[in-house]
Structure 1
Amino acid sequence: MKRKILAYNFEFSETLDRLRDRFDVEIFERINPKTDPAFLHALKTAEGIVGLALPVDKELLDMAPNLKIVSNNSTGFNNLSIDEMNKRGIMGTNTPGVLEDTTADAIFGILLAAARRIPELDQFVKTGKWKQHLTRKEYAIDVHHKTLGIIGMGKIGSLIAKRGHFGFDMDVLYYNRTRNLEAEEKYNAVYSSFDTLLMESDFVCLMTPLTPETENIMGEREFKMMKKSAIFVNGSRGKTVDEKALIEALRTNEIHGAALDVFQIEPVRADHPLLQFPNVVTTPHVGSSTHETELKMAKLAVENLEAGLTGKRPKNLVNPEVLD
């Protein structure tokens, strides 16, 4: 009898076929894991879960007595209640080292889009408003030779710095828990205090992981410290930003604009105030969403799952203490 695996929001047929050869796989997409009866029933016998953004908390774990591993198809794993999983001896894995360049492309892309007003001016053309030479009210702002401030100089932050430094001759400031000497050497990045970065940057790019320390790291005080000509870019997690404070900063012209790939609640509702500003570029958490990168992540998620279920140490174990 094959061991039961649940695939949650995991839509890659190439990797699912590989799993089906060895396991009994049940697929669940776009369901509420708190209430879906088929999912709740399947949890009772599941030994592994692979997928994206499933809230793995005490409530779910109490219903999954046979669970041995949860393989996240993402770099982040804040959806996993690690303490609860450790109590039960359940492994958790993620898929790092795959999406960094792709995400850096996307975040620098929305930075460019906000600065050059690309979505707004795209609609300007498509709705027939382009009838004469542009006037000052349609002008955008330059990116080259400006100052890029990066909060969180990890792998993705470093690659954003690379794009800014080599592609646009930007000066790079960064704030991080520890100094990134490699980024300083390669991209002339300058280690800065948090407040100095906010005050001196033309683009403030937030790339921190979500932790208790970084939740709402950008709030009313921080937006007021930014230049009125600056653009705020969030490629981290929605809860790193106080959205009410951001809305107020945009409403009162405390900052020039914003580019957001993440929101506190996703999918963002259609009537969300942030969607009403023409100077805010929004994308639906697309950082890693290319065919090539998502397939690489899916394959790695499956490899982690298979290792955990066959007595091997998964390559990307996020709670190694569970093996002690």
Structure 2
Amino acid sequence: MEEALARGHEVTTFNRGRSGADVPGVEAVRGDRESPADLERLAEGRKWDYVVDTSGYVPRVVGASARALTGHAGTYAFISTISALAGFPAEPAGDDAELWPCPPDAGPEDGNYGVLKAGCERAVEQGFDGDVLIVQPGIILGPYEDVARLPWWLTRIARGGKVLAPGEPDEPLQFVDARDLAIFTLDQAERGGNGRFVVTGPVGQTTYGEWLEACKDATGSDAEFVWVDSEFLIEQGAGAFVELPLWGGPPSAENIHFWTVPTDRAQAAGLRIRPVAETVRDTWAWLREIPEQERNFGKRSTHGIAPEKEEAILAAWAARSA
């Protein structure tokens, strides 16, 4: 929204108004996208150049929105996910990779996150009579992240001391800053863009070690990283991705392509990715304004290993190394 307003657009938001505050300068319409009456009230008497749908997770719900907004907007931009690609990360990702099989009228009980997102894409393509832009981002980080991956690492590293660093420091990472995702999506929508784009950082963007060092630099911490073997972490019951954010576990055939996602089409269309250090620094600048005890991020605060478990794993690793 901030990016659209900065470009001089007139912005309408549609949400239930139960969390967060409205951004100054927008027309805020209250409603539930699962309510036909609310969708009808949203569309009545209004027209937009384009719609950006950032919160569609159930195909039949997304389809209803697409049909309600047909004739009221020129372009429907849907923020999907790279997880909608069938077989990924065991199989390579790509702009034209096959989607998971999921019908456009599926309900929440008909699949997991990635499968349902594939159905949402079909719901937009079949339900909206106009230009359709599908954006499939990888990992999204940056200021205001409410999943608490980068915020958890920043908070933990800022405390200092011995920090459990999972796997190997040269393991690759790819992600997109939410602001770069917004810029790219608006650029394409303004052009009346059609098509599908995988959007994340370039292959070789950074490594786990470089990323954690950027967190240490941003926070000014005296943290000491203790790199612990992935297989040992599994033996100790450490949870990939959730307990140790963005650590995918030991390399295997099931996750071999997770950090080697090509973005050729998006780059050719103008995707620009800011430096990793900038994303980390700006996220810390936002986060440090929030007292640590209040960094709970609502219902999505499950990321991060418990201090006592981290200490136990570090002690076991030290004993094994000795």
| TM-score of the pair, normalised by structure 1 | 0.31
The structure whose Rg is larger is 1
